[in-house]
Amino acid sequence: MKCWICGEEDAATREHLAKASDLKALFGKPTQRHPLYFHAADRPGMPRRRNIRVGSLKSDTLKFAHRICLTCNSSRTQPYDYAWELCSGELRAAVPRLLTRGTFRANWLFPYSSRRAMRYVHLYFTKLFGCMVVEGNVPIDTGPFSEAVMSRRPHPHLYLAFGHLPLNGVIAGGSDIHTAKVEGKIVAASWLYTVGDLTVNVMYALPGEHPHGLDVAWHPHNGSQRLHFTRFG
């Protein structure tokens, strides 16, 4: 099987469902003696997956079932991963202040080359959302996702909204993709990625569609001077 991103190399590696650096920041390094516990919602035709002990951040339990190639999972997307790692750490550390202010500036996160760095954050979630589409067999064309990741240009219909979603316990991971259809075609979709107190609402919206939350969402074409930080839920 070829990698869904590049379509050229053999798909031989697996992407983390939640970034390994996010898991490490929240939970440290799990061991067999002090494990993490993995839980996935029940789905028709899928085995029950509740409270699975995980003793290493490299465990396949923490990764997508499908595979991508080594190049796309390392050198090609490493700048995107690194941009999100920095963004995630800074935003999580400042959640109470950001909720009070309601906005933040990209150049606070990235003092140098802020537009490029934020575009890389956008591309990190482009890769992850594409993996979610492939994993769930969601009928959304992955071609524009692949093109964006490969070309380092933003996906034209993918938006990010940053904020806080109150949850019970310390959690890292993502929701299912929720979709909206018109005449049987998916025209909008959303997916939540949470790491501790920080949640990113990743929204896919075709031209002319305005799903709930899009008014506070950000796209690289909007510039990077000031972004919303929202109370979700």
- How far apart (Å, rounded) are the C-alpha atoms in residues 211 and 203? 8
Better pLDDT: 160 or 54: 160
Where are the chain's structural domains? 79-231
User: Between residues 44 and 56, which one has the greater pLDDT?
Assistant: 56
pLDDT of 224 reads: 65
Q: Which of 9, 144, 22, 128 is nearest to 77 (CA)?
A: 128
pLDDT value for 233: 83
Q: Would you place residue 75 in the very low, low, confident or very high pLDDT band (cuts 50, 70, 90)? A: very high
* Rounded Cα distance, 36 and 33, in Å: 10
Strands (DSSP E) along 63-157, which ranges?
103-104
pLDDT at 168: 86
Q: Count CA atoms closer than 13 A to 52's CA, side-chain side.
A: 14
Whether residue 55 has pLDDT greater than 50: yes
Residue 51 has pLDDT above 90, yes or no: no
Give the residue, 148 or 233, on which the prediction is more confident.
148
Token pair 């099987």 is found at: 1
Please report which confidence band the pLDDT of residue 42 belongs to, taking 50, 70 and 90 as the band edges: low
Beta-carbon-side half-sphere exposure of residue 227 (alpha carbons within 13 Å): 28
58-69 pLDDT, tens digit per residue, is 999 999 999 999
Task: State phi, psi for 38 to the nearest 5 degrees.
Answer: -100, 140
pLDDT band for position 44 (50/70/90)? very low
Query: What's the whole-number mean pLDDT along residues 133-154?
Result: 97
Question: Quick check: helix, strand or coil at residue 192?
Answer: strand
What average pLDDT does range 135-159 have in this prediction?
A: 97
